[in-house]
Structure formats: C-alpha cells, structure tokens
Amino acid sequence: MDRLTSDAVVVGAGLAGFTAAVRASEQGAKVVLIEKSGGELGDGNVLMASGSLRAGGKSPKANPAELYEFVMTEGVAYPDLVRAWAATCGRAVDWLAGSGVKIVESAPGRIWLDQSGEVSLAPVYKKDVGTRALAKLKERLFKLGGRYMNGIEGQRLLLENGRVSGLMGRKGGEEIELRSGSTILATGGFSANKEMVRQYIGPHADRCKLRGSKQDTGDGLRMALEVGAKAVNLQYFYGHLLSRRALTDDRFWPYPRLDLFVDDGMLVDRNGERFVDEGRGDVAVANEVARSDDVTGAVLIFDQATWDAARDDAFSNSVKTPAPNPWLMDNDGELFHHQTIAGLAQELGLDRSRLTRTLEQYNRALESGAGTDLPIPRTSKAKPLRAPFYGLKVVPGITFTMGGVLVNGRAQALDLNEKPIPGLYAAGDTIGGLMGGYRGGYTGGLMQAVVTGILAGENVSQFKR
Ligand SMILES: Cc1cc2nc3c(=O)[nH]c(=O)nc-3n(C[C@H](O)[C@H](O)[C@H](O)COP(=O)(O)OP(=O)(O)OC[C@H]3O[C@@H](n4cnc5c(N)ncnc54)[C@H](O)[C@@H]3O)c2cc1C
C-alpha cells in the first residue's frame, strides 16, 4: 500500500479544491490535491459554468452587511458562515485576479470569469471559461510546490482520537493512505448520486435531469457523515427547468434555460392544474417539481409575447448560451403551439376543459390583481396569457445540490453539536448552510467555491503535521 504525508490533503479538484489547495500553499502548507477522475483539471462543474460571479444575486463587491442580510432573509442559512462568506466575497474576486485568473466586469457589479473563449453548441454545449480559470490556479499551485494527483478517489476518512488525520484513497485497484494534518473535502455535491437524490430531495427526484458533472456523487458528504459531521439543507438544489427532451437529447441541457417562461407563464401538471406559485422563481419551482410525485409530467404554458421575448441569437448575448427561441422550435424541443387553449391542450395530451378552466381562472385573477387569492397563489408581476398559446413539456435539471456538510466561518466541518471536528474542512458544493430556501436561495456556486476554498486554505495551518 502506498503512503503519502502532507500538511493538507484536498479531496476533489473543482474550483473549490484548486482554490483551497493554492490558498493553503500560500500559507506555507505542503499540499496534495487528489482528484478521482483522470482529468488534468478535475471533472467538476466549473468546466461547464457560464462564469457569472454573483453573490446572492448581487455583486460580490457589494457591502458585506447587504450580502449578509440578503442571504439571511431566506431563513435557512447559518449566521457564522454567512458572515464569513459576505466578508470574503469581495477579496475573493481580487484573489482570483491576483492568481492570474482573468476577470471581466461587463457592467457595474456584473463580474464574470473572462468570456472571450470558445463555445460550441453541439453535440453537447461546451464553454471553456472554467477550464482557463482552473489552468491558472493549477499553474500557481505548482509554482508554490503543491502536488496534483488525478485518478485517486478519496474513500474513507481516518479518525484518530476524535481528530481527522487524513484519508484512505484508491488508485486503480490499490489502496493509498494519505496522512495529513488537515483534510479538506471539496468533492462537489451529490446531484449525480441517484440514491442520495431520492433520499434527500424527493422520492422520485432521481428522474430529474442531471445538469452538471457526473462525478458529483456525494463522496465528501458520505465521508463526513461517517465521522459524525452534521449535514444541513439537503433538500435544496440549484437547477432550472429544462425541455423534457433533455432526458434523451443532449442538445437540451444545460441550456436553454426557461426562466422567462416560468416568470411570465403558468405551470400545470398532467391534469392541467396549477400546483406551484410560479412567482417564486425558476429555481424554487424546479425544486417543487423535483419533490412532486410526477417529476416528468409538468407543462409550461405561455403566450406569444413571452415566446417573442425569449428570442435571441445564441451568440449575441454576453453569456453565449442558446436562447429558447428559436432553439426549442428548430430542434423539436417538446414545444407545442395553438391559437386556442383547448387546441393546445389536445396537442399536449391534456384534458381540454380542465386546462381551459385553469387558464380562465388564472387570467381572471391576474386581470383583477388578485393573483395571490388563487387556490395556488400567483405572486410577482405576471400578466394574463393571450392567444396564441405555447406549451412546453419540462423536467427539472439539477445543476448542483445546495445542502451538505455544515461548516463554520473558518470552513471547519461541524459535528452534531456544531463543534468543529479537528482536522476536517469542507468547501464548495460539499458544504451546506449558505444556500436554499422557499425562494430558491441561490447565492452563486462559483463564489461559494472560491470563498469557502479560501477560508479552508487559510485556516489549515492550525492543523499542520
Ligand atoms: C452548466 C452549469 C453552469 C453553471 N454556471 C455557473 C455560473 O455562471 N455561476 C456560478 O456561480 N455557478 C455556476 N455553476 C455552478 C458552479 O460551477 C459550481 O457550483 C462550482 O463549480 C462547484 O465547484 P466545486 O469545486 O465545489 O465542485 P465540483 O465542480 O463539482 O468539483 C468536484 C470535484 O471533485 C471530484 N471528486 C468527486 N468525488 C471525489 C472523490 N471521492 N475523490 C476525489 N475527487 C473527487 C470531482 O471529480 C470534481 O473534479 C454552473 C454549473 C453548471 C453545471
């Protein structure tokens, strides 16, 4: 059996893992970053990301007090972690830039990883924004003397006298012992683990489309739970509704996103009935559908004005993602349209009179400004829907899971009494405590990864070997 000793071992080479590894190396720690895939830059979500650096829908450079308030209003976040996150967002962007990662500001507060790279739309959408960012961090890690070892899967933490002293990994058929003063779990979330998705999100949620890396199988969460860590907010995920065709056709994931149709349209189930307040936004709605009994049965109904507003040239917007119009129409994306709502119901295979009744009730309520009085309230500023109508069969896409190992403001993993487990840290999508809630509670995956990676990396020196 191989043995390796370091001050800090980082498990998982996504944005959180690379950040933690570089930041720990900057503190003088001898660092080993292990990665289970064979990828030279891991195989995480950042390799697919759009590159928007948002912090709770705001600029990461916003006042920390404002960021803190915003996140805490969801009611499920943990104050110590949110305070540290809010205080670190601004300098995290500067740190990335200082590490050689190119950052651009397209408008005041709209901060991005450099968008000038390549995009291809088929057979699977690809964008190299994250690849270039990780390449810079890897370069810096090597300059600082850190090691990157791919093809090693972290399997089980070593717990000795209540302290984590590294972990056991597997390289091919061989076991490897990685002894370390500090262990940082940065293995992403559990969106690619169907069993965990069923257990934590909803009994049928494994029927959702995975909208992120297939490597995110919840390994870090499992390992942390095994040594007594506390996990929180496991029921929430970040994701979007996608055309249901995404289940069988790679051209429909991870884009186009359908946010606009949720904001301005009506979502019905197979019976033609509304079942969720669309005004809660696309992320919250995707969560509700994933938790329902009929994950693949929902249909978005919208009108011509919304369809027209969703038109864009795939490459003209700054994010370079395909817009729904005309992508869905041109590629047979389970989209139907008709002059009448009864005709649309027929095309969709829904009950004509039920869908007509649902739409009439919905329109009447919105016309009289009484959307919130509907049996299923309709909040936010939606307008009544006018002929001709569109119907799109949808499925929730899980980008990453929001819940995970509860950490404090130093990224230390906490036990069931919310006391630090000595030697154990978590970062990025492996953590819980920052995101989730009734309105989605998305605070930005990239900022979560960089901020908690920095916090973990800065604090490992207290557990050097
Ligand atoms: C399509 C898409 C678009 C996105 N766009 C944005 C955006 O614009 N802005 C934004 O803020 N966020 C965005 N995100 C989310 C963001 O990319 C993620 O939240 C973030 O990259 C998570 O980083 P991470 O390092 O925590 O996890 P991951 O990226 O999931 O990395 C985890 C790594 O750990 C490795 N690993 C897993 N298990 C083990 C193990 N047992 N041993 C060793 N290694 C292991 C994996 O192979 C992987 O390399 C997007 C995500 C997707 C999928």
Domain boundaries, the chain: 2-235+402-463, 239-398
Torsion on CA atoms 184, 186, 192, 195, rounded to nearest 10: 20
Is residue 16 within 6 Å of ligand 1 at its C-beta? yes
- For ligand 1, whether the C-beta of 431 sits within 6 Å is no
How far apart, in whole angstroms, are the C-alpha atoms of residue 195 and residue 211? 17
The tens-digit pLDDT sequence of the chain (465 residues) is 899 999 999 999 999 999 999 999 999 999 999 999 999 999 999 999 999 999 999 999 999 999 999 999 999 999 999 999 999 999 999 999 999 999 999 889 999 999 888 787 777 788 889 999 999 999 999 999 999 999 999 999 999 999 999 999 999 999 999 999 999 999 999 999 999 999 999 999 999 999 999 999 999 999 999 999 999 999 999 999 999 999 999 999 999 999 999 999 999 999 999 999 999 999 999 999 999 999 999 999 999 999 999 987 544 456 678 889 999 999 999 999 999 999 999 999 999 999 999 999 999 999 999 999 999 999 998 999 999 999 999 999 999 999 999 999 999 999 999 999 999 999 999 999 999 999 999 999 999 999 999 999 999 966 666
437/443 Cα distance (integer angstroms): 11
Q: In 3-state terms, what secondary structure has residue 77? A: coil
Strand ranges in 218-355 using DSSP code E only, listed in sequence order: 231-232, 237-243, 266-268, 299-303, 335-338
Rounded to whole angstroms, the Cα distance separating 419 from 218 reads: 22
For the structural domain made of 2-235+402-463, what CATH number should be given? 3.50.50.60
Phi-psi region of 233 (alpha: psi -120 to 50; beta: other; left: phi over 0): left
Structure tokens at 382: 């939606």
Nearest Cα residue to 412 out of 446, 450, 463: 463
Choices 3.40.190.10, 1.20.1440.120, 3.90.700.10, 3.40.640.10: CATH for 239-398: 3.90.700.10
Which amino acid is present at 70? F
Asked, colleague to colleague, whether 2-235+402-463 and 239-398 share their fold, the answer is: no
Q: Which of 187, 210, 225, 320 to mutate to test the pocket of ligand 1 (most atoms within 8 A of CB)?
A: 187
Rounded-to-integer distance, Cα 194 and Cα 293, Å: 16
Contact present, 187 and 154 (Cβ < 8 Å): yes
Give the closest residue (by CA) to ligand 1 atom 15. 445
Residue nearest to atom 12 of ligand 1 (CA): 445
CB 273 within 8 A of CB 372: no
pTM for this predicted structure: 0.97
